[in-house]
């Protein structure tokens, strides 16, 4: 249960901080056009876009929390989180989510998006590693203190 809670919270918060920061940096560098999420409602429930993205980030955080800790020792850390987010989450987004939404696979595989998206997701993965580590230490301290 702790893995689910830590994974969800870390994924949710990492979208709000690291994912958004990644898109902001890409926008400032001229590589993206205002991909930062906003409060615009998302159908069918009318939830603000940023909260929808954070919720899905939380679900991906749960998946990552289970997957990354089972990787070989060399990948059980920041590299594992970065690769999980930058590769696995990107590929699922490109080949599953976008077609379900009626968008072309990979967003049409146009530059610079084909580079920006995996890098921003990898940035989210780095945030996942940092936040989940902090949460795990806080929970360990609380149960032993």
Condensed to tens digits (0 to 9), the pLDDT of residues 57-110 reads: 999 999 999 999 888 888 888 999 999 999 999 999 999 988 998 888 877 777
| CA separation for the pair 108, 95 (Å, rounded) | 11
| CA separation for the pair 112, 15 (Å, rounded) | 21
Instruction: Give pLDDT tens digits for 21-54.
Output: 998 888 888 887 765 667 788 877 888 888 999 9
| CA separation for the pair 49, 55 (Å, rounded) | 10
Looking at the structure of the chain, the number of domains it has is 1
Question: Could you tell me the residue range of the domain that residue 23 belongs to?
Answer: 2-144
What SS3 state is found at 48?
A: strand
pTM for this predicted structure: 0.86
């Amino acid at each position: 249960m702790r893995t689910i809670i830590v994974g969800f919270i870390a994924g949710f918060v990492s979208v709000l901080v690291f994912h958004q920061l990644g898109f902001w940096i890409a926008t400032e560098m001229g590589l993206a056009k205002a991909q930062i999420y906003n409060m615009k409602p998302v159908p069918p429930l009318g939830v603000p876009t940023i909260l929808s993205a954070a919720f899905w980030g939380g679900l991906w955080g749960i998946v990552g929390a289970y997957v990354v800790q089972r990787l070989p020792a060399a990948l059980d850390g920041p590299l594992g989180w970065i690769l999980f987010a930058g590769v696995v989450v990107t590929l699922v987004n490109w080949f599953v989510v976008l077609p379900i939404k009626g968008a072309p696979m990979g967003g049409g595989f146009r530059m610079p998006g084909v580079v920006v998206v995996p890098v921003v997701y990898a940035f989210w993965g780095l945030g996942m590693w940092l936040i989940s580590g902090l949460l795990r230490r806080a929970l360990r301290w609380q149960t032993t203190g």
